[in-house]
Structures are given as C-alpha cells and as structure tokens.
Structure 1
Amino acid sequence: MRLLRFSPPLLLLAALTLSGCAALQSPTQFYRLEQGNPALPHNDKGPALLLGPLKLADYLQRENLVQRELDDSLTLTQKIRWAGSLQDDVGQLLLRQLAGQLDTSRVALYPDRVGFSSEVQVVLSISRLDSGVQQPAVLEAQWRLLDAAGVQRSSRVVRLQAKHTGAVIDQVRAQSALLQQLAGELASAIRSMPVAQAVAPRKPVVAAPAKRPEKKPLTPLLEPAKQVEVFRF
C-alpha cells in the first residue's frame, strides 16, 4: 500500500483554494416589503373595512424573488428570497396603509373575520408584481368594492410603474412603494363610496291567525203538528 505524501507548500495551496471557493459562495439573502410609516388611526371615524379575498398571481407564490429579463422572461434567484410569505406581507402592508389613511382601526384581513361586520369590503387580485436589474418595478391589479349588503359599488383595473437603481434592495423598495400607492388609490375610492350601513335582520313575518267562520244560528226544526182528536157528544 503506497502512501501519498504532499509537501507543505502544496497543502497550503489546497487549503487556500478551498477557503477561496467557500468565500465565493455568498449566503442567501432574505428580503421583506417595506411597510412605510402609515399614520395610526386617530379619531377612528372611518368605515369598518374587510380586505380580501386577496389573490396573488401563481408565479408570485414562491419563496424566491422573481426577476424579469429584457425579453420579458422570468428567472428565479436561488440566493435571494422573501423572508416569509409574500402574500401575507402584501396583505399586512395594504391593511396598515388603509387603516391609517381612512382613520379606522376596525379592519380585518380575509378570512379572519370572526365576529366582524364590515361596511366596506375590498376584493383584490394582483396579476403582476415584479422587477429586474434592467426592468422597472411594475404592479398590475384589479379591485372591486362591495358595501355591507355585498353590492358592488366600484371596480377598477390599474397599472403602476416605478424606477429603481437595479440593486435588489432598491427593487424591493420600488415594489413596496407601488403597493403603498395602490393603497392610496383604494383609500380615495373608498372615501367617495357611499357607505351603506349593515343590513338589519328582518323580523319574521307571522301570519295572522285564520278567522273562524261565524256560526250561524241553527234554524229550529219544525215538528209536524200532532193530530188532535175531537170528541163529539
């Protein structure tokens, strides 16, 4: 059995090579949307608001940050990820922004609505929220506003765009700014919407008791007259 012997300089070179490769492998970076600094509800005079259902496009429902290339193709960055659920971050950002802009603490995020009676409901679908190193941040969404009775009062399709420097952190900031802008447009639409009060439950209609037919007096039966015997003397 032969033993391989390496000179000390060769071993030092191998060690430096391995450490260099390890240094080149950058750690995974995690990002979250920036919530901004929304004002807290002060007088709490806004409507009771239910946000949701909120739907994100299928390609956004993943841990990896999606990058859009110049040819509009999408790539996933393996070392750049969202810290948690992107859908939850979007919902919390919009909810906090709407609460501050509408001055209401009576807010709920669908489906967490136990014991909550809303005056306004926002049904929101986000079909695009992405950016790239050489592509601007773009947000495309459609919303519907419902009153307390579930009647649609407003509907709109929007497309928002923002520039950035190309760095990943600046891309995340740009996407966050677009969501805050979306919240501002939603708040404006809600303010101009006639808020219907919660529909009071109807009282059950009780049918009036049926009148009994009046009893007519019975006609007395006439018995046939008895034959009277006449006696003659």
Structure 2
Amino acid sequence: MMNVLRLPLIALLTGVLGLAGCSTHQPAALYQLDSGTPGQPAQSAGMAVVLGPVTVADYLQRETLLQRQTDGSLSAATDGRWAGSLSADIDQLLLRQLAWRLDSQRVVLAPAPAGFAPDVQVLLSITRLDSGKNQPAILDAQWRLIDRRGQVRDNRMVHLEKQHDGTTASQVKAQGELLQQMSQQLAVALKPLANQPPLVESRKPEPKPARKGESDKPRIPMASPIRTDMEVFRF
C-alpha cells in the first residue's frame, strides 16, 4: 500500500519543481534604441554625406545591456538585452536621422559605394553610451567633418545627459533620444558645407590651333615701294 501512494507524491513534487524552474528562467526582454519618427527625405540630389567610420567603445560591442552603478562600475542587466548588435543599431539610427534632417537621400554609411563623391565625410567616435537604475543616460562622442578637399572643417566633442524613471525600457528610450539630439547638432554643423566651390576650377580657353598648311608656308616679307625725288624725262 505504501508503494502505491508514493508514486503520485513523487510525480506531484516533480511537477511543482518543474513549474518553479519555468518561473525562474523567463526569457529576457529584447531592446532596440529609439530612433524617433524620422521622415522620408524628399531630395534625391541633396547633400552627399558619408557617415563613418563610426567607432564605438569596446564595452558597447556586445548584446549585453549594461547598467551603470553609483560607484561607476558596470553590471549586466538581468531583465533584458540588446536585440542584436548595438553598434549596427547606432549606425542605422544616425543614418536615418541625418538623411531626414538634411532632407537628402544621398547619405550613406562608410565605406561609400564606388563613384560616390561626397560633399563631406563624418568621422564619429562614441566613447560612452550607458545608464543605470539610479544613473542618468550619458552620451560622450566626438566628430570630425572632412570636406571634399580633405580639409577638417569642424572638430567637436559632445557630452549629453538625460534623466529617466529607472526602468530598463525608459533607460533604452533615453539613450536613443540622446543619439537623436546629437544627430540634430551634427546636421546643423553639416548644412553650411553643402555649398562648397567645385574641386576643378574653370580653365582659360586654349589658343586656337593654326589651320592646316599655314604653318608650312614660309613667310615672305612684303616689299614696300621706294619713293625718290628724281624725275624721269623722255625725248
């Protein structure tokens, strides 16, 4: 009789432990940066811009969503992670934002396609992009703008901060809004470089070549009449 009662009890305990295991291994939420609501650029022949290379700090090149602690250390979030590559997500957000703000469909990521002649190239370095439950979202970056002649036209360091309500979702949203804010500042710096002088200056017209056969003929000086005061008499 004892053996008969023991089997249902073991099965019941196994089921309870299985449910407990399922409840403690819930899948983590996946997050992407908030790219805002950029519109579709209308000008197909607008400003030509190459965005990149965009370098991102090593600690951001992973799917782990990091949390900044009060002592400055970083720890992995337990309730979420990035949905894919954060670096690629940053590239696409900046590309869409700049194309919209410049109203140009000629904004491409580096390396530029063959035959693409940019008005300006943006070299961008992002050294920090993170937040924490009790820490604001912070973006540290630096850009350099290279014009079509290869000259540096702008070199700027950016530091931006944004508060949030502490949840992981609000932190991700705040980080995306910081990138949008930087895109706005970058677009303002780019617009004056749209009207650059052409690389090739207009050449002076070359002298017309001599007609065929004219250069082969020897030039004979024209004889001028000689006048004298002598009179001629006829008899």
Aligned pairs, how many? 201
8 Å CA contact 1:118–1:148 kept in 2: the answer is yes
User: Counterparts in 2 of 1:96-175, with a 5 A limit?
Assistant: 96-175=96-175
AA in 2 matched with 1:71: D
8 Å CA contact 1:45–1:103 kept in 2: the answer is no
AA in 2 matched with 1:146: I
Deviations 1:101-156 (A, max 9, x none): 11111111012432211001111000000011111100000001110111100111
Please name the residue that 2:30 is paired with.
30
AA in 2 matched with 1:36: G
Structure 1 residues 75 and 107 mapped into 2: Cα distance closer, same or farther (>3 Å)? same
AA in 2 matched with 1:17: L
Distance 1:114 1:19 in 2: 58
Distance 1:99 1:163 in 2: 27
Which 4+ stretches in 1 moved above 3 angstroms? 43-46, 192-195, 200-203
8 Å CA contact 2:50–2:112 kept in 1: the answer is no
Greater shift, 77-86 or 56-65, is seen at 77-86
Structure 1 residues 4 and 136 mapped into 2: Cα distance closer, same or farther (>3 Å)? farther
Distance 1:10 1:176 in 2: 51
TM-score, normalization: structure 1? 0.79
8 Å CA contact 1:56–1:126 kept in 2: the answer is yes
Give how far 1:27 is off. 0.6
Identity %: 44
5+ long unaligned stretches in structure 2: 204-235
8 Å CA contact 2:43–2:103 kept in 1: the answer is yes
Structure 1 residues 198 and 65 mapped into 2: Cα distance closer, same or farther (>3 Å)? farther
Distance 2:47 2:138 in 1: 30
8 Å CA contact 2:125–2:143 kept in 1: the answer is yes
